[in-house]
Each structure stands twice: as C-alpha cells, then as structure tokens.
A and B are shown apart, each in its own frame.
Chain A
C-alpha cells in the first residue's frame, strides 16, 4: 500500500480545481484527500469547485453544427475562398497566413503584360500599313526601249482592227504585248494620230527621263 502524506492547506487549496475535474496525479490526489479529511474550508471549497465544473459542463443549450464551418475551411485549403474573411472588426488579421495564400509571384503577370504589349505594337504597325495606298508596277524596265511608243488598245478590240489602226497611222509593233496588253510601237511620230483614235486607251512616248519613268510603268492605284 502506497503511503500518502497530507499536503499543506495552501498547497491543497491551489490543487482543488484539478481535484474537482479529476485530473490530479495519483500522488497529488492522495495528498489532497488526506488534507481534506481534517480541513472543513478546503472541503467546502472543493464542493464549490465541483459545482463550477458541473455548471460549465452542463449540456449545451445551443448545438453548433460543424458541417458549414468545415466546408468553409476546405474551400480555404483548396484555394477556392479567401484565406481570411474580408470583414473582421473584432479580430486581428493573421497577416503571414493571409499573405501566404493571397500573394502570387509577379512573374506570370509581367510575362502576360509583355506579350500583350508586343502584340499591340505589331497590330498597330500592320494597321498603319493597311491604311496606306497600295501600288503595283504594270511594266518592267526590260520592256522599255528608247524611241518606242507604248500603246494600249481597248481590250475588246479585235486583232485585225488593231492592225488596221496601226497601219493607218504608219506605225508597227516592235515589242509586246506585255502581260497587261501594252504594245511597243514605232515610230514615235505616230503618237498624235493614234491618240485621236477613240479605240486607243493611251499612248506614251519613251524619251529621256520620261522614257525612264515610262519604262518603270505608269503607276495606277489599285482599289
């Protein structure tokens, strides 16, 4: 049988809450109980302490359902909800925990912004080019020969009729036709007569700089 020694009044008094809730060690309990046999004040205090335990462990009048709270927590753990509620007047924010979830590395945002800026710049350049008039060259320098007239007939004109026009003007075909239906004819002195014929769309002599410009072709704007 283990011998138990009575503890002092002050020591027993301090231990009474845990004697009441049943959480004293065996040795402390034995010592306190020994003292209680001879101390009315501690016995009375123990009764009050037991009453405190009884009152505070009474069945709850309100039952708290854990389900909704647990779902909120799991949403937070899975990142589907903010780390902390937005409004919390009474509580201090747990900044490190909050930041751990809310903060994201800036790299991805910077990269996305950079790609977007490059794309916008490229689009602006393309749009500017599209807004400018587009030109096409219809004759080539190789086709241009000094002392030659370039002539274009109405496209519906039969070949025989073209030959008749040239013959009547005293001209002959010396080049062409090119891909655009332009002929080179000679001599250049036939130009005035040919221009008077309504079946001729245009006639241009190639001389000097004019010849050079004409060799590069008349520039016409395409729609």
Chain B
C-alpha cells in the first residue's frame, strides 16, 4: 500500500478533526490486514470520534449511529487486505460508512417523511446571534435536506474532505458533489436568516454551470 501524496496533486494535507496522519493510518491498515487487533482498536478509536457525531446528527439515534460505525469497521476488519492504497484510508473507510448510513437512512420510514420536497420550514429568530444557537438551528435545517446533500455538507464542513474525496466517498462525479453542495447552500440560506446575512443571492449562473458540468 502506498499512499497518494497530497503535494503531488497540488493539494493541502487534510486536517480532519481527531485524525492521525495519513502515513500513520496507512501503517495501521497494513497491520490490520495482518490481523493486528491493537492497530484495529487504534483506528477504530480515531474514527469513532470522527464519525459518531455526524452519524448521530444524521440519524438522531446513537444506537443506529453506533451500528453504522460497527458495520463499517466489520467490513474494514474483513477487507483490510483488499485495501491497495489507491485512495486514502479515510476516504476508503468513509466510503463504506457512507453506503451503510445511506442504506440505513433510506430504509427508515421516518427519514422518508423528512425527505419530502414540500416541507420547507423557515427557521427564524429575533434573538441575538450566538454560535451555539446557530448550531442548533443549523442541525434542524440540515434535516430538511435530501440525504445526499446532507451527507455532502457533513463531509465537507464538518469532516473537512476535499471535493475529490467526497466524490470518491459518495461514488459520484466531482461535479455532482459541487451541484449537491450548491443546492444545499441555497436551501440553508433560505432556512437560516443568520446565514443569509444581507441576503446576497446565489448567482443564477452557478446553478446552471453546476448542472451543465454534471451533465458533461
């Protein structure tokens, strides 16, 4: 397994919250492939912290979030030998987690109701702006988004993945990721006056460009 160099691709080394260095994670993956349980536990602990929050926010249930995490690492343990280093360990692992989370959410009747297009709850407040309050509003607003947009937001803003990495994780083209984020941002601005600020609208051309890029 040889890690792809970020500098070779002109990119910035990721600084995910709670993450180890890429080299460290590659080393852990190699040891896990040989059945090293200590390495498995170390990697699990790193990712549990990283994944628990956004999965719990996504599912509203820690037990389901935990199940997605454990389903993901069940695959990691069994398939570690298949990891060839074509992508970063974190991208590979989050790709598995993404598919597990998406399947869990899609099968949820509760989520199905949330995902209906018609619902559009405007979250307004006359209270002075506070970060903690905005986070609460934002978490409610995120629930209004379709699952793909919501996961894209989480992967970008919370977990700090690049556009290319999110595309790998979600198994879709880069332009699709940009489009999803574009629509998510537009919807969040409608729902959150604090984010809308002075009410600067998204450029009309940006959506069209994203759509055209997605089709190309």
CB within 8 Å of B: which residues of A? 9-11, 13-15, 17-18, 20-27, 41, 44-45, 47-49, 51-58, 60, 62, 64, 66, 69-70, 72-74, 76-77, 84-85, 88, 90-92, 94, 97
Contacts and interface: CB of A to CB of B under 8 A. Distances in A.
Interface stretch (B12-20, B84-92, B120-128): B12-20
A26 B11 CA distance: 6
B104 A90 contact: yes
Interface in B67-103: 67-71, 73-75, 77, 100, 103
Given A70-B41, A90-B59, A85 B162 contact: no
B61 A90 contact: yes
B9 interface: yes
B38 to A, nearest CB: 12
Interface string B148-163: 0000011011101111
A130 to B, nearest CB: 56
A25 B10 contact: yes
A56 B104 contact: no
Given A25-B10, A64-B53, A77-B77, A55 B110 contact: no
- Interface residues of chain A: helix, strand, loop or mixed (majority): helix
B172 interface: no
B185 A58 contact: no
A14 B69 contact: no
A17 to B, nearest CB: 5
A53 B160 CA distance: 8
Nearest to B37: A74
Given A14-B178, A57-B157, A9 B45 contact: no
Contacts of A27: 10
Q: Which of A58, A69, A76 has the most CB of B within 10 A?
A: A69
Contacts of A97: 71, 74-75
Given A24-B12, A26-B10, A44 B66 contact: no
A51 to B, nearest CB: 7
B10 to A, nearest CB: 4
B24 interface: no
B200 interface: yes
Contacts of B185: 17, 49
A58 B135 CA distance: 9
Contact of B158 (A13, A57, A74): A57
A219 to B, nearest CB: 74
30 contacts: A9-B206, A10-B203, A11-B209, A13-B203, A14-B210, A15-B163, A18-B162, A18-B163, A21-B157, A21-B161, A22-B15, A25-B11, A27-B10, A41-B203, A44-B198, A51-B134, A51-B195, A54-B131, A62-B53, A64-B53, A66-B48, A70-B45, A76-B70, A77-B74, A84-B67, A90-B107, A91-B64, A91-B68, A91-B104, A94-B71
